[in-house]
Every structure is written in structure tokens, then in C-alpha cells.
Amino acid sequence: MTFIGIDGVVHHVVVDGSGPPCVLSPGLGMCWFDWDPVVPLLAADRTVVRFDRPGLGLSGHTRRWPTLGGEARRIAAVLDALRLDGPVTLVGHSLAGFHAEAFARLFPGRAAGLVLVDSSVEEDPRPRRGRAVRDTATRAYATLVSAAGLPRVAGPPLRRAAVRAGRVGGQDPAPYDAVRRAYSTGRWLHAALAENATYTDQAVALAALRRRRPLPPGLPVTVLAADDPRRPAHRRARWLARQRALATHLNGTLRVSSPSGHLLMLDHPQDVAEAVLHAQARPPLAEEERARLWPGVSGGGRS
């Protein structure tokens, strides 16, 4: 466990194991310990990097609005601070699937593989109006609720309830003390609400990025989808069809974990670990190839 400063914000970072690096990035409002069941399955063969986005887990608060490009650059900045130049396997769960894919497109020379764990999918996202109004309203609501002390009282129980709902027949395995430290604060509420408010903005940004920047040639991509038997049959089939379409669009492979809830890393950590270990590291692209595919982008997309 360590703390590093990025753009004036203290980030909580945890590194385990040794070998080729991989980054585990959790979904909306989640934090480092949500990957705890996966880490022991990887640490013997991979350098496993986990970090908390601003306001989440043990990271410091920021007033900056989350953006897709900002989150991709945050991953790069964490790796830079750890002196891990790559190539790295990116693992993104839910909303962080957007961030992982954006990193691979913006920093092609640093991406070794992409594993999307029950990733968010938006086939045709449309821009939303009134971003400034949404920003102000979200911050005002979070400030009001935090001042009333509700995160301290309701944060940990809500976390526990959300995990139970996101799993198939399982409880929250995280230690209570860790949950209390991460979910009893106003900074967590601000961060979670900000990520929720900018979800569509990030989906729109990813759709635009896909048109401008291809994935690196030969990049191994695995879409790991949760097959939740608690869903109505039509919704279950529809979700798997959307995940299959995502895999096809990224020229990747679909793998299904069943039975599993959305928190697939808790229900089937071995499936996540297997997908990471089978993502074959590829050598960095030659400078000529990078220049051909991404004109004007130097250093494999580091800038």
C-alpha cells in the first residue's frame, strides 16, 4: 500500500506480486478491496496494480468532474509513478471498462491486453445537455447529504446491500473496517454521484474515441460477461447479446461466467484471473507502425 500524488490529488495504490503488470480497475463507486479475491490468483505470475479513483477508497477528494480521457490518463500516471512502462494488461469492471478501453486506444504502445469484466455497454449514446447544471446540482446534493451525516450512518450498510444484490447467493467478503473507512465519508458520496452523473458523457466520449483511434493491432481482448439467473429470461438473453456484440466490435473473445451477478470478481474470481493470465503480452509497437496508425501521437500514445 502506498500513496502517490497525481494532479494535486493523493491516490491510494496497492501493488502485489511480480511479473508482467496488470491493472485492476473497479466499477462505479467501488474501491481497491473489491478485487481481493482475484489478487492471490494472479500475484504469482503478475504484478497486480490496484488504485482508488479520487474520492473513492482511501484516495483524496477532488472537485474535478470525471472524464473518459482523464481516467485513461490517470491509469497512465499511476503506472508512471510506479515506473511500470508496460506493456500492461488492463482489466476494467463495469464503468471502468470504458476507462480500460480508452487507455488501450490512447496509449497503444503500453497496452498488452484488455479484459472487460461485465463491462458497461452503450451502443448509441447521445450527448446530454446542461452539464454545468448537473454538476452544480450533484455537488449541492452531495454536500447537503454529507452535512447531515448520512454517509457515516448509511454508507456501509448501503455498500453491504449493494454487494449482496450484485452477487448470486453471496455476502460482502470485504472486512468491515475497510468498508467503514471507504464508505463512511462525504468524499465517497461526492465521487460516486459524480461518476454516475457523467456516465453518459463518458459513453459518448468513448464512442467518439472509437472512431478516431483503433485498438492496437493484435491486442488480445476478452469480454467476460455475467450470466445472472435471477434476471428475467429476456433481460438475461439481451445482456449476453450486448456483451457478445461488444466482443465482436472489439475483435475479441466472449467468455460467460454462470451463475454470476454483476460483481463477477466476487462470484467467480478464478474466471477473471484466467482471462488475465491468457492475455498474451505482446511487444511494444515499432515506432514506424505507431506513426502509421496514430499520426501525430508520439511515444506509443503516452502524450
- For the cut 50, the answer to whether the pLDDT of residue 296 exceeds it is no
More confident residue, 230 or 130: 230
Average pLDDT rounded to a whole number, residues 19-42: 97
pLDDT at 170: 87
Instruction: Measure the N-to-C terminal CA separation of the chain; round to a whole number of Å.
Output: 28
Contact call for residues 22 and 91 (beta carbons, < 8 A): yes
Mean pLDDT of the chain: 91
Distance CA 67, CA 205 (A): 8
Q: For 239-252, how does the pLDDT look when each residue is reduced to its tens digit (9 = 90+)?
A: 999 999 999 999 99
Give CA–CA dist 176/170, Å, rounded.
16
- The grid cell for 236 is 438475461
Examine the pLDDT at 85 and tell me if it is beyond 90. Answer: no
243: enclosing H helix or E strand:
helix 233-249
Q: Within 13 Å, how many C-alpha atoms sit on residue 27's CB side?
A: 18
Sign of the dihedral through C-alpha 278, 283, 286, 290: positive
Residue range 204-228: mean pLDDT, rounded? 97
